[in-house]
């Protein structure tokens, strides 16, 4: 998914859009290497040494990885799980709604 996410971030540069990741790798040092190797240019938070059972995934009720939530400009979850073209369409729809 990283290539698609990179293209989405690039395409929406300058728009009111943010991609935020949560990584469940329990090893923070290893995670930092992966972020560099994979050219992760967006904010990516560490879920802690508990991995998938960490505080972020627990609070957001994440049960599987990857989980995708698309929030609107008010912070409401509007889409769950879209990937690829469906993700682009969901984001574009919310940007259009916000600008209307």
pLDDT tens sequence across 1-36: 899 999 999 999 999 999 999 999 999 999 999 999
Q: Which pLDDT tens digit goes with each residue over 39-90?
A: 999 999 999 999 999 999 999 999 888 999 999 999 999 999 999 999 999 9
Neighbour-count burial for 72-94, b at 16+ CB within 10 Å, e otherwise? eeeeeeebeeeeeeebbebbeeb
pLDDT computed for residue 58 by the predictor: 95
pLDDT at 63: 87
Q: E strand or H helix at 9, and its extent?
A: helix 2-11
What pTM value is reported for the model?
Answer: 0.85
Helix H or strand E encompassing 22: strand 20-23
Three-state DSSP class for residue 43:
strand
Q: Is the dihedral of CA 39, 45, 48, 51 positive or negative?
A: negative
Tell whether the model's pLDDT for residue 94 goes beyond 90. yes
């Amino acid at each position: 998914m990283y290539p698609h996410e990179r293209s989405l971030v690039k395409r929406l540069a300058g728009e009111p859009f943010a991609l935020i990741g949560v990584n469940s790798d329990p090893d923070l040092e290893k995670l930092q290497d992966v972020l560099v190797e994979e050219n992760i240019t967006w904010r990516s938070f560490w879920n802690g040494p508990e991995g998938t059972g960490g505080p972020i995934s627990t609070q957001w009720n994440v049960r599987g990885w990857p989980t995708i939530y698309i929030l609107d400009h008010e912070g409401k979850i509007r889409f769950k799980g879209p990937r690829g073209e469906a993700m682009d369409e969901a984001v574009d729809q919310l940007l259009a709604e916000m600008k209307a």
